[in-house]
């Protein structure tokens, strides 16, 4: 069933803009060490949006959501705190979602690779990777990194409080 | 018997928001945008000069009507009336938007009988039977007051926001639970179901205790009843409009008031 859906949506997108040729999207996110007695790992959402001149960006797709998946009863109660993701995409999704949701991560560098197959229907063009992080008893921060889909390129950005370095690499 | 007691209570409540014009009526939620399988939201309802600052009078909630995302009516829980505010909880069990409104309406009649000034309040249907035949100087005014707010579990929906055709109502162009600082939001006011043109709308952000400038905004609705607000900052905002129409021909005078609360997120 799943390949059929993918093929159908790829065809639909093909009518508007040529899909990019097969490429992987690799994102690294560094979660900084936080000081303070009560540390809870942050909720983090990785998604892409498409910039539109003179208007708010259009959210396109969720790549990953790190939340307390093991807490089935209450883990989703704080998804709303990743505000830009929640408003743009999260509140319209059902979680957990295969290949997207996973447990929260410890401080350190984390790599997320989105295989070419999952982005086959994404039209080539300019996008922005958004990393939206919210931490219990901590703060919230969103880091935006513009990148190009459709050719090999790398981009980087950095946060200042809840997030460290963020890199995006499109490889062929 | 029980019904008539409820009616008397409802009629007594009618007067409150309209007679206390100097004070602002607000129904403020503890959260407006939630996630998860279910959620609880608390509400404070008061009347005071500073919006969301409970320092004057609790609001009577006899007209409280909560509409769930599927359009059904649901009940508030843990109701309490404190000195300066009324409180209650709402258990959100459906995904979507709830409208929480305290709606009151009716007719107020003043008249003279045997040289004595008298007043009667009630429903329009009961009016004829309750005004004595020998009454003189009869002045009747229809009133409608809507005090409301909105809360959403999951993605916003619009079923609960359908206009009833009574009094001043907010029709969303922008969803009232999808407001972000720096962005513009557009709504339409309708009165008795018709576009309310030329209505002066007051928009006031809470938290005035912690700043010197009240930072209120006023906008006027266009021919189609619409108005646009660009939210300068995150916060809880009070949106107010009222209108008085004098008697004309066989139409009695009427007052309508709207007091809404919306939250603007960063």
pLDDT tens digit string along A89-137?
999 999 999 999 999 999 999 999 999 899 999 999 999 999 999 999 9
- The domain boundary, picked from B119, B140, B161, lies at B140
CB contact under 8 A, A87 and B178: yes
Q: Are residues B115 and B208 in the same domain?
A: no
Task: Let me know whether B116 and B100 are in one domain.
Answer: no
Please report residues of A whose CB lies closer than 8 A to that of B156. 91
Task: Quote the pLDDT of residue A19.
Answer: 56
Does the distance separating the beta carbons of B36 and A76 come in below 8 Å? yes
Mutate to test the interface with B, among A80, A81, A82, A92 (most CBs of B within 10 A): A80
Whether residue B230 sits in one domain with residue B125: no
Same structural domain for residues B186 and B87? yes
pLDDT at residue B223, rounded to an integer: 98
Answering whether pTM is above 0.80, one says yes
The CATH number of whichever domain residue B57 belongs to comes to 2.60.40.3880
Q: Is the peptide bond before A96 cis (omega within 30 degrees of 0)?
A: yes
Full residue range of the structural domain in which residue B118 is found: 107-140
Do both B124 and B253 map to the same domain?
A: no
Are B54 and B173 within one domain?
yes
Asked if the C-beta of B178 comes within 8 angstroms of chain A's C-beta atoms, the answer is yes
Distance from CA of B83 to the nearest CA of A (A): 32
Residues A83, B265: C-beta atoms closer than 8 Å: yes
- pLDDT category of residue B257 using cuts at 50, 70 and 90: very high
Same domain, B119 and B203: no
What digits encode the pLDDT tens for the residues B90-112?
Answer: 999 999 999 999 999 999 999 99
Same domain, B196 and B216: yes
Among B140, B165, B195, the domain-final residue is B140
* Interface confidence (ipTM) of the complex: 0.83
Where are the strands (E) in A79-152, listed by range? 101-102, 108-114, 125-134, 140-149
Query: How far, in whole angstroms, is CA B68 from its chain's centroid?
Result: 17
Tell whether B171 and B91 lie within a shared domain: yes
- What per-residue confidence (pLDDT) applies to B56? 96
From start to end of chain B, where are the E strands? 24-29, 33-34, 39-48, 57-58, 64-67, 73-74, 77-81, 86-92, 96-113, 116-122, 136-153, 168-172, 184-191, 194-195, 200-205, 217-220, 226-230, 235-245, 253-264
pLDDT for residue A172:
78
Q: What pLDDT is attached to residue A168?
A: 98
Residues B50 and B169 in one domain: yes
Whether residue B80 sits in one domain with residue B44: yes
Cβ–Cβ below 8 Å for B35 and A87: no
Asked if residue B81 and residue B134 are part of one domain, the reply reads: no
| Domain tally, chain B | 2
């Amino acid at each position: 069933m799943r390949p059929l859906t993918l093929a159908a949506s790829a065809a639909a997108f093909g009518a508007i803009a040529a899909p990019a040729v097969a490429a992987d999207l690799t994102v690294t996110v560094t979660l900084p060490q936080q000081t303070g007695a009560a540390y809870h790992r942050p909720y983090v959402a990785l998604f892409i949006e498409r910039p539109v001149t003179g208007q708010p960006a259009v959210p396109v797709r969720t790549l990953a959501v790190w939340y307390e998946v093991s807490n089935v009863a209450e883990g989703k109660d704080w998804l709303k705190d990743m505000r830009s993701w929640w408003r743009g995409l999260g509140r319209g999704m059902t979680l957990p979602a295969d290949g997207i949701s996973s447990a929260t991560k410890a401080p350190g560098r984390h790599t997320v690779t989105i295989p070419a197959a999952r982005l086959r229907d994404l039209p080539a063009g300019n996008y922005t990777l958004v990393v939206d992080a919210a931490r219990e008893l901590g703060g919230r921060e969103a880091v935006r990194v513009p990148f190009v889909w459709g050719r090999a390129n790398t981009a980087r950005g950095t946060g200042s409080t809840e997030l460290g370095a963020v890199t995006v690499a499109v490889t062929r | 018997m029980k019904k008539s007691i409820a009616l008397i209570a409802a009629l007594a409540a009618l007067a409150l928001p309209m007679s206390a014009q100097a004070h602002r009526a607000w129904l403020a939620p503890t959260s407006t945008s939630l996630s998860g399988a279910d959620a609880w939201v608390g509400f404070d309802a008061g009347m005071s000069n500073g919006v969301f600052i409970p320092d004057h009078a609790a609001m009577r909630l006899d007209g409280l009507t909560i509409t769930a995302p599927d359009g059904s009516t649901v009940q508030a829980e843990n109701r309490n009336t404190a000195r300066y505010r009324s409180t209650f909880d709402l258990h959100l069990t459906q995904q979507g938007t709830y409208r929480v409104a305290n709606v009151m309406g009716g007719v107020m009649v003043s008249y003279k009988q045997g040289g004595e000034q008298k007043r009667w309040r009630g429903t329009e249907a009961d009016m004829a039977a309750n005004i004595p035949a020998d009454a003189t100087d009869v002045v009747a005014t229809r009133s409608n007051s809507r005090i409301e707010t909105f809360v959403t579990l999951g993605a916003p929906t619009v079923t609960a926001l359908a206009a009833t055709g009574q009094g001043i109502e907010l029709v969303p162009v922008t969803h009232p639970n999808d407001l972000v600082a720096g962005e513009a939001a557009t709504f339409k006011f309708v009165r008795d179901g018709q576009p309310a043109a030329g209505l002066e709308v007051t928009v006031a952000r809470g938290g005035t205790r912690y700043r010197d400038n009240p930072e209120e905004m006023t906008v006027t609705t266009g021919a189609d009843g619409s108005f646009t607000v660009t939210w300068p900052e995150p916060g809880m905002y009070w949106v107010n409009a009222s209108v008085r129409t004098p008697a004309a021909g066989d139409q009695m005078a009427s007052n309508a008031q709207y007091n809404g609360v919306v939250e603007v997120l960063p």
